[in-house]
Amino acid sequence: MMKTRLTEKAACLRRIMDNCHKIVTVTHTHPDGDAIGSSIGTACWCESLGKEVTCIFPDPVPDTISFIFRPERQAKCLTFSKQRAQAEKALEECDLIIALDFSEFSRTEEMAPILKASPKRKVQIDHHLNPAAEDFDLSVSEINISSASELSYQLLKILVGEGYGSFSMEACEAFMTGMTTDTNNFANSTLPSTLEMASELLEAGVNRDKIIDNLYWHYAEGRLRALGLLLKDKMTITPEGAAYMVLRDAEVKHFNLGDGDTEGFVNIPLAIEKVRMSIFLKEADGHFRVSIRSKKGTSASIFANKYFHGGGHENASGGKLHFPGDIPSPDEAEAFLAKVTEEYLSE
Ligand SMILES: [Mn+2]
């Protein structure tokens, strides 16, 4: 089913590509491995067709993922929050915008009004629930797939098979990296197509050991010290089967945590048998960033939407908690979590 759909979408993408020369890729705020991997991989494929590509990230790429950039790639990437004028110029001069790993423009925050108002052609490649397909000339959206990196790979592979473009080693490594982070190294959302992709990329010569080393064995000490504190003193487990942890700004500073340093913390409480849903809050610039993971049968997506202005996937979602606004002060976060998890999980 998906293959038939992707074949039709690939033909449509090919017609769009034929009429475009300058391309911009965009992705969601706080870009993760999948956002970055799918952007770089897709950019490489566009370049193999002789196109000129700029990758725009709404805000800085975390240090933990920066290994993915080759020196020559770095020069073709822009960070919107730091290079706004250049990014706006690139968006004005391009003739195609490819949106990767997000369902709607609001996920790009500051960039959203510009992207929405832009008269350029727009293509979406995404794997989240409820894509705003009406905002795009072509929306390629699948939820039964591991990652945007896999979806880009599977889609573009059809055209590569027709001799339309090719995958460089840089592209293969980027797709492998994005798929690896979004599946939490093959722990979730791993489907037959995901393993097929991994196998093909290994055949193509991707050095997976190097990727794993970069992704999981290069953290600063503070990450583990902070995790130790959270698990020992700050993890609450409720009778309804929720686990939550709140990391405050003072702690982020104390442990000198960068943007990617708390990646994956939210998954850990799911190891406990009675935990059905895990919530991790990290304080940042006057609000909390909220990550939610759930086991099958409990919807993280509905919970994120109901209480945290968010959404995402059925078992992996995110959102925000504002103060003042949702709660009077950051000190109220735990009480709020106690209330909403009880309300939600006793339904
Ligand atoms: Mn993703």
Band (pLDDT 50/70/90 cuts) for residue 285 is confident
Is 290 within 8 Å of 279 (Cβ atoms)? Answer: yes
pLDDT of residue 1: 82
Residue 259 has pLDDT above 90, yes or no: no
Cα 190 to ligand 1 centroid, rounded to whole Å? 13
Taking the centre of ligand 1 as the mean of its atom positions, its distance from the CA of residue 148, in whole angstroms, is 5
Between the CA of 150 and the centroid of ligand 1 the distance, in Å, is: 9
Q: Domains in the chain, ordered, with CATH?
A: 2-216 (3.90.1640.10), 221-345 (3.10.310.30)
Whose CA is closest to 67, among 211, 176, 180?
Answer: 211
What does the block give as tokens for 73? 């790639």
Q: For residues 121 and 138, what is the distance between their CA atoms, to the nearest angstrom?
A: 9
Q: How many whole angstroms from 108 Cα to the centroid of ligand 1?
A: 14
Check residue 23 and give its pLDDT.
98
Confidence grade of residue 93 (pLDDT, cut at 50, 70, 90): very high
Q: How far is the CA of 19 from the centre of ligand 1 (A)?
A: 28
| Sign of the dihedral through C-alpha 194, 196, 202, 205 | negative
Query: What is the dihedral angle through the alpha carbons of 215, 249, 309, 273, rounded to the nearest 10 degrees?
Result: 60
pLDDT by residue (tens digit) across 291-319? 999 999 999 999 999 999 999 999 999 99
Q: What's the CA-to-centroid distance between 291 and ligand 1, angstroms?
A: 14
pLDDT range class, residue 334, cuts 50, 70, 90: very high
Mean pLDDT of 41-54: 98
Neighbour-count burial for 223-234, b at 16+ CB within 10 Å, e otherwise: beebbebbeeee
Report the percent of the chain where pLDDT is more than 90.
97
Distance from the alpha carbon of residue 38 to the mean position of ligand 1, in angstroms: 9
| CA of residue 154 to ligand 1 center, whole Å | 14
Quote the pLDDT of residue 347: 78
State the distance from the centre of ligand 1 to the C-alpha of 77, rounded, in angstroms: 19
Q: What's the rounded mean pLDDT across residues 150-154?
A: 98
Distance 267 CA to ligand 1 centre (A): 16
What pLDDT is stored for residue 76 in this prediction? 97
Distance from residue 34's CA to the centre of ligand 1 (Å): 5
Q: What is the pTM of this model?
A: 0.95
Q: What share of the chain is helix, strand, coil (3-state, %, to 5)?
A: 50, 20, 35
Task: Collect residues with CB below 5 Å from ion ligand 1.
Answer: 34, 101, 147-148, 182
